[in-house]
């Protein structure tokens, strides 16, 4: 681990790059991230498996570009870039995540600069809550520009019956998912072909939470997660053309959440949230994404 001292905070805090992501480190990253999002609109369960699936490449298994900040042995900050996979034009930035005890001393900037200097790709951030004080200004001052505004919604699981097919009994699911990603999700072919591999690498993935409307080739991917903080079903992708199909899939997802005894249904969308609202979900926040364009 290469080491750099942070001049404006305690001299014992050091930042360095690591080129591995093992289980114990994933636990540390998840625990600090959970502390830092508490009370914001993106507050949700963060587990070690979620960290691993979000930071490592699903297809190649390559670790992220990862910077850590430690005060002695204690992890007080981190920032990561997930390397782009086939079909991705940008690498994904996660963080910087900084412990409350060392904030407002420049550590976030040092972490960000460390991974940006080590990554050579165009970058895009994960979702940055608009209600997080100073977050947008932080990226703007660092030379990033706003890319998207995103709506965060929450819903209550609803008891009822399914009106759609789940992926459990579907033959050649790879072909179905790739076709839906390409035609309805408007993803490039290379991305579409690798989509199911990405999903399967996520510990939250279960076939029963991939809901299909086979007549139209539509699809809804939901990801279930539980930990000591709570439980949720995240509506991660909804690929459907007609509003009535989208709403049928969204309603079925709420039923699936109730059947699995999950506390909350959550959705994060860059599109018009009208179909989600029509299914009883309420808007609970807005997020922003930022991009750092680069010449390749």
Q: Which pLDDT score is estimated for 11?
A: 59
Q: Where are the beta strands (DSSP E) in the chain?
A: 4-5, 13-18, 65-71, 74-82, 91-98, 123-125, 128-129, 145-155, 165-166, 210-213, 218-226, 231-239, 264-269, 282-292
Listed ranges 29-33, 189-193, 198-202; the one with the highest mean pLDDT: 29-33
**Which pairing describes strands 264-269 and 210-213: parallel, antiparallel, or unpaired?**
unpaired
Strands 264-269 and 231-239: parallel
172: left (phi over 0), alpha (psi -120 to 50) or beta: left
Other beta carbons within 10 angstroms of residue 161's beta carbon come to: 7
d(CA 240, CA 56): 29
Counting beta carbons within 10 angstroms of the beta carbon of residue 14, is it exposed (0 to 12), middle (13 to 18) or buried (19 or more)?
A: middle
Residue-level pLDDT at 2: 45
Same fold, 4-126 and 153-286: yes
Mean pLDDT over all residues of the chain? Answer: 88
Assigned CATH topology for domain 153-286? Aminopeptidase (3.40.630)
A 10 A CB-CB count for 253 gives 26
Percent of the chain with pLDDT over 70: 94
Give the tens place of pLDDT for each residue, 127-147.
Answer: 888 887 788 899 999 999 999
**For position 61, what pLDDT does the model report?**
78
Q: Which helix (H) or strand (E) holds 136?
A: helix 135-141
Contact criterion met (CB below 8 Å) for 110 and 97? no
Q: Are 4 and 114 in contact (CB under 8 A)?
A: yes
d(CA 227, CA 18): 27
Residue 227 has pLDDT above 90, yes or no: no
pLDDT tens for each residue of 71-117 = 989 999 999 999 987 777 889 999 999 998 888 888 999 999 999 99
pLDDT at 239 over 90: yes
Q: What is the model's pLDDT at position 3? A: 47
Domain covering 4-126 in this structure, CATH number = 3.40.630.30
What are the φ and ψ backbone dihedral angles of 131, each rounded to 5 degrees?
-85, 5
Residue 70: half-sphere exposure toward Cβ, Cα within 13 Å = 14
pLDDT at 9: 53
Query: Nearest 5°: CA angle at 193, between 188 and 198?
Result: 105
Q: What tokens does 140 get?
A: 């703007």
Report pLDDT for 173: 93
Instruction: Sketch the domain layout of the chain as residue ranges.
Output: 4-126, 153-286
DSSP bridge partners of 233: 224, 265
């Amino acid at each position: 681990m290469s080491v750099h001292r942070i001049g404006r905070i305690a001299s014992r805090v050091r930042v360095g790059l690591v080129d591995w992501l093992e289980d114990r480190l994933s636990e540390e990253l998840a625990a600090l991230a959970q502390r830092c999002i508490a009370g914001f609109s993106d507050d949700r369960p963060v587990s070690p498996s979620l960290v691993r699936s979000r930071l490592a490449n699903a297809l190649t298994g390559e670790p992220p570009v990862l910077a850590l900040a430690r005060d002695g042995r204690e992890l007080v900050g981190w920032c990561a870039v997930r390397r782009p996979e086939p079909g991705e034009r940008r690498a994904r930035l996660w963080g910087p995540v900084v412990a409350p005890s060392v904030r407002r001393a420049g550590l976030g900037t040092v972490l960000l600069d460390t991974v940006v200097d080590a990554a050579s790709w165009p970058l895009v951030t994960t979702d940055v809550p608009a209600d997080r004080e100073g977050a947008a200004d932080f990226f703007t001052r660092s030379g990033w520009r706003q890319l998207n505004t995103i709506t965060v919604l929450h819903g209550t699981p609803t008891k009822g019956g399914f009106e759609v097919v789940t992926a459990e009994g579907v033959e050649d699911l790879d072909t179905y998912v790739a076709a839906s990603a390409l035609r309805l999700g408007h993803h490039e072919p290379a991305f579409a072909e690798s989509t199911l591999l990405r999903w399967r690498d996520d510990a939250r993935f279960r076939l029963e939470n991939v809901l299909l409307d086979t007549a139209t080739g539509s699809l809804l991917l939901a990801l279930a997660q539980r930990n000591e903080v709570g439980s949720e079903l995240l509506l991660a992708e909804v690929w459907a053309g007609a509003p009535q199909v989208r709403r049928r899939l969204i309603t079925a997802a709420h039923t699936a959440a109730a059947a699995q005894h999950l506390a909350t249904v959550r959705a994060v969308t860059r599109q018009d949230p009208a179909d989600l609202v029509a299914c009883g979900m309420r808007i609970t926040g807005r997020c922003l994404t930022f991009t750092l364009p680069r010449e390749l």
